[in-house]
Amino acid sequence: MKFWLTTLLLCLSLVCARAGVLDDIVPHPAKAELLKGSFRISGAAIKCDPAFDAATVEAVSRFAARLSYACGKTSPVSTPLGLRDALAGGKVKGLVILHDGSLADEAYSILVSPRNAVIRANGLNGVFYALETLRQMLPTAIYGNRQALKDRWTLPCCLIEDAPRFAWRGMHLDSARHIWSIDEVKRYLDVMAMYKLNRFHWHLTDDQGWRIEIKSYPLLSQIACWREGTMIGRDFSSNDHIRYGGFYTQDEIREVVEYAAARGITVVPEVDLPGHMLAAMSAYPQLGCTGGPYAAWTIWGVSDQVLCVGKESTFTFLERVLAEVAELFPGEYIHIGGDECPKDEWKKCPDCQALIRRLGLKDDGRFTAEQYLQNYVTKRIQDYLATLGKKVIGWDEILEGDLAPGATVMSWRGAAGGREAAARGFDAVMAPNSHCYFDYYQAEGGEGEPLGIGGFVPVEKVYSLDPLEGIAPEHAHHILGVQANLWTEYISTPEHLEYMLLPRMLALSEVQWCSPERRDADRFLRVLREHEFPVLEQAGYNYRHN
Ligand code: ACM
Ligand code: ZN
């Protein structure tokens, strides 16, 4: 008797759509209405409108392969002509994916009825997000590696109409302080894609290492990518004396860019300048004000040795580097850093001071001549990148002095930079360290946590971010979106990296995707425990068990 009861309950749990399944979707859709009945998706034929491009059909095929594997019943994919008319004639069964040019970029709808489930979207991102929403509605085995033996899976009949609140839904990764293998980067992209993030900000250069192959400067990947050891724990006077480094070849970079694009993610590379350049200067000491010698830093923090911008040859270097970067990354933005650039060397350097005089820059009580010199650098790089069809984004320090029109600001020292940028007519991305620094601890005082940089940003805090707080309604359109940053000074293993990322990135995804009315911290925290932790478990990620 007990055996039959257990079997019955198990079958019911597989056959019936889970109660509350629509509530469980993260990020929560703009509109999700339960209808009567259910649709059997296991073994359903998948018909994709031939109006979609090959990348979209490929994304559908990947979904079909995973579904087929996980539920043990094959879902064949086809791209039949006349799909729309056949659907209107009531003839189509299965999962149907229709091109709908009237929908906004990234928006999608799903109408599930007993006969079929119909997705509508205008391109790859919308289709991809609809399929991710379906995955969130299916048994969590869809995320795992276990092949089921002919499970019967259903979706509840429903209508979902969904679109993101913000266009820029970013997650950053510091590959300079610690380098991550291409497979680790792909896993990072996979979990970003699961939660509908669409910008991968890749921090590729810093004082402690240069990570991108630049063909015209081969020493960057022979010298600048190495440091002679790393400080141990928090002891700035220590060194483990283990040579540390590595770099990504241009082929590897292309592989990541392509992998991300297939999942609707644009990669935004960062070449941090004019500060945070010590590693590059170790390979090409003429780039510095003093001429060196320099060595990539073995300790964390910010070197006061920065690029000598008084020498024209420094701009030749930057332009040749950025030309190769622009070629590798097809997105519209290149991040040029601009943060934490100490100005002491510029004050002492005859070349930098001569340039300041030539440009007529002066301390004016608000900003120093050297801060205006950084504006000059930003503007030159901005103009150069414009000739390559690229836009510049930089950390909020680029606002100091006179930022030229057209630059976008990433607000990290709280939200003030984003507010100021929007008020002054610049586009901005909110990444305030108060809510979006995922290198900060998840427990107060770091209690019980692996060693980290400090701070305290629990998942609830991330969820509470209001990106438009303090922004006048008429400036709100300047806030392109929200991003979290994951600096890796104190993070050297993929397990630790994922632990810092998850589950905070899930809270971030609702901040990025959902309108304020659709956000509900109680619902989110319940769904996190009951549904998303099992999802992450199945997908094999390490996460903090909040
Ligand atoms: C930063 O955290 N220095 C942008
Ligand atoms: Zn100089």
Write the pLDDT tens digit of every residue in 23-46: 999 999 999 999 999 999 999 999
Q: Mean of the pLDDT values across residues 364-373? A: 98
The answer to whether residue 276 is catalytic is yes
Q: Choose among 436, 482, 485, 439: nearest CA to 461.
A: 436
**Predicted local confidence at residue 384, as pLDDT:** 98
Query: Where are the CATH 3.30.379.10 domain residues in the chain?
Result: 20-162
Q: Using most ligand atoms within 8 A of CB, pick from 268, 340, 483 the residue to mutate for ligand 1.
A: 340
Ligand 1 pocket member 340 (CB < 6 A): yes
Closest atom of ligand 1 to 412 CA is 4
Q: Choose among 279, 412, 401: nearest CA to 335.
A: 412
Spell out the residues 6+ positions from residue 135 whose beta carbon is closer than 8 angstroms to its own.
Answer: 63, 142, 143, 194
Contact between 316 and 384 under an 8 Å Cβ cutoff? The reply is no
Multiple choice CATH, 168-539, 3.50.30.40, 3.40.50.2000, 3.20.20.80, 1.25.40.80: 3.20.20.80
Task: Please identify which residue in the block is written with the tokens 């990570």.
Answer: 211
**Predicted local confidence at residue 12, as pLDDT:** 45
Task: Please identify which residue in the block is written with the tokens 């150069």.
Answer: 384
Q: Choose among 140, 191, 261: nearest CA to 498.
A: 191
Query: What is the pairing mode between strands 243-245 and 266-273?
Result: unpaired
Cα–Cα distance measured from residue 480 to residue 463, given in angstroms and rounded to the nearest whole number: 18
| Marked catalytic residue, from 206, 207, 396, 510 | 206
Residue 62 has pLDDT above 70, yes or no: yes
At residue 224's C-alpha, the angle toward residues 221 and 230, to 5°, is 120
What global pTM score does this model have?
0.96
Multiple choice CATH, 20-162, 3.40.50.2300, 3.50.50.60, 3.30.379.10, 3.90.700.10: 3.30.379.10
| Marked catalytic residue, from 28, 276, 435, 531 | 276
CB atoms closer than 10 angstroms to residue 182: 15
Query: Where are the CATH 3.20.20.80 domain residues in the chain?
Result: 168-539
pLDDT tens digits, residue range 158-182? Answer: 999 999 999 999 999 999 999 999 9
> In which band, very low, low, confident or very high, does the pLDDT at 10 lie, cut at 50, 70 and 90?
very low
**Predicted local confidence at residue 149, as pLDDT:** 84
Average pLDDT score over the chain: 96
**Predicted local confidence at residue 19, as pLDDT:** 53
